[in-house]
Amino acid sequence: MIDFKNAIKNSLLNPIKHFKLRYLPLLMIYFAYGASGISGVAETFWVKEELKLSATALVSLGVWLSLPWSVKMVFGQLVDSVPILGSQRRAYVYIGAGLITIGTILLIGLAGNYDFVKFTSKENVYIISSLLSIIGFVLQDVVADAMSTEVVDRNQSEEKVQEELAYVQILGRLAISLAGVIVAGLSGWLAQIFSYETMFKISLLIPLISIIGVTIIKIDVAKPSPINCKILCGGLIFAVFIVLMGYGSYQEWQNKILKFIFKYSQEIIVVISLIVISYMISLILKDIDKKTRSFIIKTAIVIFVYRAMPSVGPGLQWWEIDVLGFDKAFFGTLSQIGAILSILGMWLFSDFIAKKPAHYTLLWLTIITTILFLPIIALYYNIPQSLGISPKTVALIDTAISSPFAQLSMIPLLTLIAIYAPEGKRATWFALMASLMNLALTTGGIFTKYLNEVFPVSRKIVENGNIITPMDYSNLGILMIIVTILNVTIPLVTIYYLMIRNKN
C-alpha cells in the first residue's frame, strides 16, 4: 500500500517538479494548438448546415488537409538552416501565427457572408481557410518540437538527460490536454449562445497565445546548420507533387490513364510519401549504431500501425445529432468531461509512460480504447435503452474516446526522437519522424474513406426545399463493429510479432 501511495504521489508531483521557466515558450505553442478547438463544435455544426458535403467527401477532405503534416521536413530544414532576420525560432512562430490568423479571418468572412470571401464557392474558401491554418500550426509545431530538445541541459548524466527529455514531452502533451480541458466545454456552451461568426472571432485569440510565449522568454538555439539539399529540395519537390496530385484529382480527365491515376491520387501520395520519408530518415539514421537503429525502426512501425487504424468517420456524430438529439451544449459537456478525465489520466500515468517502452503503452491503450467504445455500439442497437438507461448517460462513457490516447502513444516515441536528435538537425529530425507518424493518420483517413464507401451513412441534405440526400444510418452499426475489430486486432498482432515474440 505504501508503494502504491508513493507511486500515485510521484505521478502527481513529478510533472510539476520537472517544470522549468525555459520550457514556457514551447508549452505555450502546444497550449495554443490544444486550445484551437474553441470553435470546433461551432465549426462542426456550421459545416453540417452550410456545406453540402457527404461523409465520404468530408473524410477525403480531411485526408488532403492532413498532408501538410507529412511534409514537415521542409519546414524543419528551414527552421534548422534559414534564419529570418537573425531568428531561427521566434520569426517562424510569428509567421505561423499570421497564417492561422488569415485562415480564421476567412472563416469569419464565410460565417458573416462578407464580400471578400465571395470570390469562389463556400467549399473552396473553407478549404483555403483550413489549409492556411493547418500550415500555420505545422510551422509552429516544428519550432516547438525543436525547442523541446534544446531546453534540456545536456551537462548532466545521460540518465538525467533522458528523464528530462521524457518529462518535456509529457509536459507538452499535458499543455495540449490542459488547453483541451479549458476549451472543451466552452466550445459547446459558447456555440449555443453566440453566432458562428462570433465563435470564429473568439478563436483569433489562439495565435496570440503562441506569440506571447516566444516574445516574453529569451530563446537560445543551436547555430544554423548547412542546408541538406536532399531533404530540403526533395521535400519541396515532394510538396509540389502533392499539390499537383491534389489539383488533378478535382479535374475531369478524358485520358483513361490520367483518370485512373488521379482517381487514386491519395493512395499514390501515401505510397510515395512513405518511400520519400523513409529514405530521408535513413539519411539521418546512418550515423546511429545498428542495434539502436533497429529498435527505433521497430518502434516507429508499431506506432505507425497504431495511428493508421481507421475511424468511424463523421457519420457517428451526425447520428448522435439527428437520431439521439444531442445538441451543441451537450457536445460541449461531453468534451469537457472527457478532457478532464484525459488530463488526469495522463498526469497519473506520466511516470509509467516515461519509464516503459512504447509497445507496452500501446498494448494497454489498444485494449482500453476497444472496451470504452463497446457501449457506443450497444447504444446504436438500443441495448442500454431497453434497460432504461438514457442515451445521454451512455454517451458520457464516450467521453473517454476524447481522451488523448494519441498523445499518450506519442510520448515514448517523441522521447526516443528527442534522445537521438542530432545537434543542428533537431528540427529536421523531429519533422521527419513526425511526418511519418502523421502519414499514418493520413493512411487511417484513407481506410476510413473506403469503409464509408462500402458501408455508406448519410444525413439528410435539403437544397431549395428538396431532399437531395435522405437520412440513412442503417450501415452505421456494422461500420462501428468492423472499425473496432480492426483497431484491436491489427495493432496487437503487430506489437506481438515485432516487439514481444523476438524477445522470447
pLDDT value at residue 3:
56
DSSP class per residue in 456-497: --B--EEETTEEEE--B-TTHHHHHHHHHHHHHHHHHHHHII
pLDDT value at residue 400:
55
pLDDT value at residue 293:
80
DSSP state of 89: S
Q: Which helix (H) or strand (E) holds 339?
A: helix 328-348
Q: Tell me the fold of 17-503.
A: Growth Hormone; Chain: A; (1.20.1250)
The amino acid sitting at 14 is N
pTM above 0.85, yes or no: no
| Chain center to CA of 425 | 23
HEC readout, 356-372 = CCHHHHHHHHHHHHHHH
What is the end-to-end Cα distance of the chain in Å, rounded?
Answer: 32
Contacts (Cβ under 8 Å, ≥6 apart) of 107: 39, 43, 126, 129, 200, 203
Q: Which helix (H) or strand (E) holds 347?
A: helix 328-348
d(CA 101, CA 135): 11
pLDDT value at residue 1:
43
d(CA 296, CA 323): 46
Q: Using CA of residue 157, residue 361, residue 416, residue 136, what is the dihedral sign?
A: negative
d(CA 371, CA 350): 22
Contacts (Cβ under 8 Å, ≥6 apart) of 183: 34, 35, 37, 38, 40
pLDDT value at residue 191:
83
Q: Which cell is 353 given?
A: 509512460
Contacts (Cβ under 8 Å, ≥6 apart) of 398: 334, 338, 372, 373, 375, 376
Pairing of strands 466-469, 461-463: antiparallel
Q: Which cell is 222 given?
A: 543551436
Q: Which cell is 4 given?
A: 502504491
Q: Which cell is 332 given?
A: 460541449
pLDDT value at residue 208:
93
Nearest to 434 by CA among 241, 300, 309, 311: 300
Q: Using CA of residue 387, residue 393, residue 395, residue 400, what is the dihedral sign?
A: negative
Whether the CB-CB separation of 414 and 169 falls below 8 Å is answered with yes
Which residues are 462's β-sheet partners? 467
Count, residues in the chain: 504
- Chain position carrying cell 467521453: 399
d(CA 428, CA 285): 12
d(CA 184, CA 332): 6
E strands in 172-300? none
pLDDT value at residue 2:
43
Q: For 328-331, which contacts have Cβ atoms below 8 Å and span 24 or more sequence positions? A: 328/41, 328/42, 328/45, 328/188, 328/189, 328/191, 328/192, 329/188, 329/189, 329/192, 330/188, 330/392, 330/395, 331/41, 331/44, 331/187, 331/188
pLDDT value at residue 8:
60
Which residues are 472's β-sheet partners? 458
Backbone φ, ψ for residue 229 (5° rounding): -65, -30
pLDDT tens for residues 49-68? 777 767 667 766 776 777 77
Q: Which cell is 345 given?
A: 489520466
The amino acid sitting at 191 is A
Q: Which residues of the chain have pLDDT under 70?
A: 1-14, 53, 55-56, 59-60, 63, 117, 219-223, 250, 335-336, 338-339, 341-342, 345-346, 348-358, 397-410, 412-413, 416, 424, 502-504
Q: Which cell is 396 given?
A: 458520457
DSSP class per residue in 285-323: HTTS-HHHHHHHHHHHHHHHHHHT-----THHHHHHHHT
Tell me the CA distances in angstroms from 373 to 48, 316, 365, 379, 405, one per residue in order. 24, 12, 12, 10, 13
- Chain position carrying cell 463493429: 481
Whether the CB-CB separation of 55 and 452 falls below 8 Å is answered with yes
pLDDT tens for residues 83-93? 887 777 888 99
d(CA 251, CA 264): 13
